[in-house]
C-alpha cells in the first residue's frame, strides 16, 4: 500500500514538472529592449528677442501655465515709436487737408451768398418798380398790371430772376454738401492710413504681451539655451520642455525577429531595474530600415548588432524615468502554438536569448 502511494506521488511530481516545462517553453516569447522617452517641446519665437529674466532651472518641475521667462522683442520699441510718429504726421496732414476743404466750402458758401444777394437785390428793385407802377395805374381798370400778366415786362423779369436764383444756388449747395461729406467721412485717404497704423500698433502691443513664455503643460525643464540679457535670433531654441512622464518607448527588435512585430500589436513594457514598474503599450510605428542597435541595448556592448526601430505608445500614468531602459514583451503573438516536445527539443532558452541579443 505504501509502494502504491509513492508511485502516485511520483506521478504528480512528473505532471507538475511537465506543466512547468510547457509554461516555460510552450509559448514562443518575443522580447527586446528599448528606452522610455517623453515628448520634448522646443520653445522658440519667430522674431529676435532679448532675454530679460529666466525663472526656471534645468530639471525643474513646473505646472501648466507657469511663467518660464520674460523676453522683449528687439525691434518692437522702434516699430511702435515709428508708428506713433507716422500717426502724428498723418494727423497734421489731415488737419491741413481739412482746412483746405473747409476753405473751399467757405468760398462756395461766399459765392452762394454773393450771387443770392445780387439776384434778390434785383428782384426787390423790380418789385419796388412794379408797386410804383401799380399805384400809378390803379384807377385804370382797362390795364392789367398784375404780377402774373404776360404783358407786364417787370413781372416777367422778376420771374426770370427767381428762376436764375434757383439754378445758380442749387449747384453750389450740391458742391458744398459733397465737400462736407468728404471732409467728415471716415473713408478719406488720411483717415484710412491712420486707421491702418493704429491696427499695426495694436498688433505689436498684443505681440509684446505674448513675450512672456509659459509652460504648455505640466512637465520638466530640459536644457536652457539662453542667458539673461542675451540677444537671441529668430527661431533659435530658448528652452527644451518635457512632459512629466514618458508617453513613448523607442525599442529595437533584432533583425531575426522583425517579422514578429507589427503595428497594432500589444506589448508590456517592464523596467529592467524595477520590474514592479510595468505598463501595457501598443506598437504605433515601425522603422523603414535596419539600423544599428544602441550599445546600451546590447547584451555584449562591444558586439554590434542590427535591428528595426519600434515605436510603442504608452499611457502617461507610468513610473518610468526619461531614457530608462525597459524590457518589451510581445503579448499579442501571431505565431502558432508549439507542442511540449517541440519546445523541449527545439531551441533552448539560451539559444533564444542569443537570437534576441544577436549572439548566434
Q: Is the pLDDT of residue 142 over 70?
A: no
Task: Give the separation between CA 129 and CA 141, rounded to whole angstroms.
Answer: 19
Same domain, 100 and 185: yes
Same domain, 177 and 280: no
Residues 6+ apart with CB under 8 A from 298: 304, 305, 357, 358
Question: 97-101 long-range CB contacts below 8 Å, 24 or more apart?
Answer: 97/188, 97/190, 98/183, 101/179, 101/182, 101/183
Q: What is the pLDDT of residues 271-304, one digit of tens each?
A: 999 999 999 999 999 999 999 999 999 888 888 9
pLDDT of amino acid 359: 44
Residue 5 lies in a domain: no
Q: Which three cell numbers stand for residue 67?
A: 511663467
pLDDT of amino acid 216: 87
Q: Is the pLDDT of residue 157 over 50?
A: yes
pLDDT of amino acid 52: 86
Residue 9 lies in a domain: no
Residue 176 lies in a domain: yes
pLDDT band at 137 (very low <50, low <70, confident <90, very high): low
Q: Is the pLDDT of residue 147 over 90?
A: no
Closest CA to 303 of 312, 293, 313, 315: 293
- Report the phi/psi class of residue 65: left, alpha or beta, with left for phi > 0 and alpha for psi in -120 to 50: left
Distance between first and last Cα of the chain: 53
Q: Pick the residue with more confidence: 24 or 112? A: 112
pLDDT of amino acid 173: 82
Rounded alpha-carbon distances, angstroms, from residue 117 to 108, 114, 169, 330, 334: 14, 5, 11, 106, 108
- Name the residue with cell 497704423: 197
Give the least confident one: 143-147, 232-236, 240-244. Answer: 143-147
User: Structurally, how many domains does the chain consist of?
Assistant: 3
Same domain, 201 and 86: yes
pLDDT of amino acid 149: 45
Q: Show the domain range for 181.
A: 77-206
Same domain, 234 and 332: no
Same domain, 195 and 232: no
The three-state secondary structure class of 287 is: strand
Count of CB atoms situated within 10 Å of the CB of 263:
11
Q: Pick the residue with more confidence: 53 or 358? A: 53
Average pLDDT along the chain: 79
Q: What is the pLDDT of residues 52-98, one digit of tens each?
A: 889 999 989 999 999 999 888 767 767 788 888 888 888 888 888 88
Residue 185 lies in a domain: yes
Q: What predicted TM-score, i.e. pTM, was given to this entire model?
A: 0.46
Amino acid at each position: 500500500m505504501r509502494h502504491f502511494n509513492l508511485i502516485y506521488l511520483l506521478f504528480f511530481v512528473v505532471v507538475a514538472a511537465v506543466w512547468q516545462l510547457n509554461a516555460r517553453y510552450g509559448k514562443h516569447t518575443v522580447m527586446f529592449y528599448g528606452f522610455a522617452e517623453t515628448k520634448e517641446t522646443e520653445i522658440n519665437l519667430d522674431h529676435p528677442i532679448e532675454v530679460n529674466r529666466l525663472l526656471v532651472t534645468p530639471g525643474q518641475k513646473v505646472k501648466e501655465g507657469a511663467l518660464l521667462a520674460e523676453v522683449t522683442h528687439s525691434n518692437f520699441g522702434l516699430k511702435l515709436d515709428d508708428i506713433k510718429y507716422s500717426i502724428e504726421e498723418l494727423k497734421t496732414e489731415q488737419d491741413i487737408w481739412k482746412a483746405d476743404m473747409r476753405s473751399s466750402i467757405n468760398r462756395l458758401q461766399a459765392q452762394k451768398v454773393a450771387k443770392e444777394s445780387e439776384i434778390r437785390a434785383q428782384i426787390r428793385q423790380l418789385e419796388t418798380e412794379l408797386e410804383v407802377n401799380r399805384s400809378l395805374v390803379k384807377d385804370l381798370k382797362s390795364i392789367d398790371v398784375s404780377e402774373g400778366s404776360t404783358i407786364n415786362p417787370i413781372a416777367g423779369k422778376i420771374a426770370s430772376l427767381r428762376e436764375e436764383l434757383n439754378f445758380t444756388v442749387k449747384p453750389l449747395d450740391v458742391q458744398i454738401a459733397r465737400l462736407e461729406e468728404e471732409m467728415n467721412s471716415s473713408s478719406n485717404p488720411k483717415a484710412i492710413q491712420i486707421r491702418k497704423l493704429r491696427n499695426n500698433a495694436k498688433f505689436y502691443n498684443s505681440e509684446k504681451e505674448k513675450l512672456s513664455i509659459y509652460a504648455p503643460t505640466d512637465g520638466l525643464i530640459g536644457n536652457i539655451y539662453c542667458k539673461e540679457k542675451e540677444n537671441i535670433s529668430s527661431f533659435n531654441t530658448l528652452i527644451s520642455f518635457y512632459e512629466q512622464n514618458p508617453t513613448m518607448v523607442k525599442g529595437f527588435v533584432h533583425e531575426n525577429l522583425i517579422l514578429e512585430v507589427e503595428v497594432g500589436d500589444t506589448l508590456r513594457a517592464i523596467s529592467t531595474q524595477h520590474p514592479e514598474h510595468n505598463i501595457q503599450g501598443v506598437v504605433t510605428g515601425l522603422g523603414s530600415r535596419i539600423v544599428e542597435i544602441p550599445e546600451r541595448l546590447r547584451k555584449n556592448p562591444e558586439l554590434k548588432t542590427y535591428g528595426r526601430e519600434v515605436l510603442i505608445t504608452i499611457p502617461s500614468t507610468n513610473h518610468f524615468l526619461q531614457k530608462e531602459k525597459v524590457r518589451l514583451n510581445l503579448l499579442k503573438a501571431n505565431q502558432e502554438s508549439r507542442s511540449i516536445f517541440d519546445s523541449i527539443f527545439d531551441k533552448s532558452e539560451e539559444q533564444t536569448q542569443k537570437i534576441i541579443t544577436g549572439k548566434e
